Homo-oligomer: A and B are copies of this chain.
């Protein structure tokens, strides 16, 4: 844990008088916050800053209707009273947000934060941020995540602990094998996924291509597979046939088989499916959940869809009240947003938190995968450490 390191360095390097001077500031020691984040008696006004960042992807990424090699991101930082917290908006182009729209949103968010004396009243701050515009969910999440990191740093506690979750209950993350028409490239991707305890495959491109993917994976690996059809199946009979075919090949769940508006057809499939059917595109925010009860077996929570950690926590409660299964997912994101999403991982059956390991230039260290398992540390806030020389923020 970093505070031990800090203390050791402190004990080693500090002279006695210097030591005494440092002890006089109680917050430095109690908060267990990394040295760079120690309280410096800074402003009692929240200061929001941000930096546009282009995430370089290790592989060309293809889902139904879109291929790309980089992803637009905005990293946010909120400082208060000498503490700081980092946040992130990750904005895959097909969802409609851009760095420009995020920057515009954050300019409008600043005067909203100015109305509050401190970051603690999330119950008031986040609804006010949400009211700034109708959409901009990733931009809103970048504020929410930074506030959570900030508060966790002030409390000196990680959010999984603040929420009372058991950090040992995290699942293995699924690791996504992306579609490729080239057999050699696809085989290389399959080999690269050999470490994973559970694999995610995005289907819905076409019957032949979909079955080719599964067969090629199964020729090399017996790892359980989660399917994400990304609304790709346009016929309920076909969907059910395909799900039955998949269930015989160690597939364990199906995400968003049909278009999000097809509630009756999805309910028909879910009722007959041997595998759980999980809502992704159909479940954006908390208020969507009551409409999905009886239609899907569960929901995939993504911070960039639902405006952040506080709403995600509420979605967990409501889905649990409705006896729905839980999954946490991500976009292609840095360790900032992945570490934020990881805080709820103890509550989910499936985690798809590989976004940061798909990025070549991740600007933070945070949540780690240990043998594929989402691993939470007892570090304040989101447990982030900024890597040198990647971003200026």
Q: Which A residues are closer than 8 A to B by beta carbons? A: 1, 3-4, 6-7, 10-11, 14, 16-17, 19-20, 23-32, 120-124, 151, 155-157, 161-166, 169, 286, 289-290, 310, 314, 317-318, 321, 346-347
Contact = CB atoms under 8 A, between A and B. Distances in A.
Given A121-B164, A151-B164, A155-B162, 5 more contacts: A7-B10, A7-B29, A26-B29, A286-B321, A289-B321
B27 A24 contact: no
Tell me whether chain A's interface is mostly helix, strand or loop, or mixed: helix
Contacts of A11: 10, 23
A163 to B, nearest CB: 7
Nearest to A121: B166
A157 B162 CA distance: 11
A325 B38 CA distance: 42
Contacts of A3: 1, 3-4, 7, 32
A7 to B, nearest CB: 6
A184 B209 CA distance: 88
Contacts of A321: 286, 289-290, 314, 318
A240 B120 CA distance: 43
B7 A161 contact: no
A155 B123 CA distance: 20
6 contacts: A3-B7, A7-B29, A16-B16, A24-B26, A123-B347, A318-B321
A157 to B, nearest CB: 6
Nearest to A286: B321
A28 B26 contact: yes
Contact of A317 (B1, B16, B318): B318
Q: Which of A24, A120, A164 has its CB near the most chain B CB atoms (within 10 A)? A: A164
Contacts of A7: 3, 6-7, 10, 29
A351 B384 CA distance: 40
A1 B166 CA distance: 17
Contacts of A32: 1, 3
A16 B121 CA distance: 39
A318 B290 CA distance: 11
Contacts of A290: 321
Contact of A123 (B20, B23, B120, B164): B164
Contacts of A10: 7, 11
B30 A156 contact: yes
Contacts of A6: 7
Contacts of A151: 164
Contact of A19 (B16, B29, B157, B165): B16
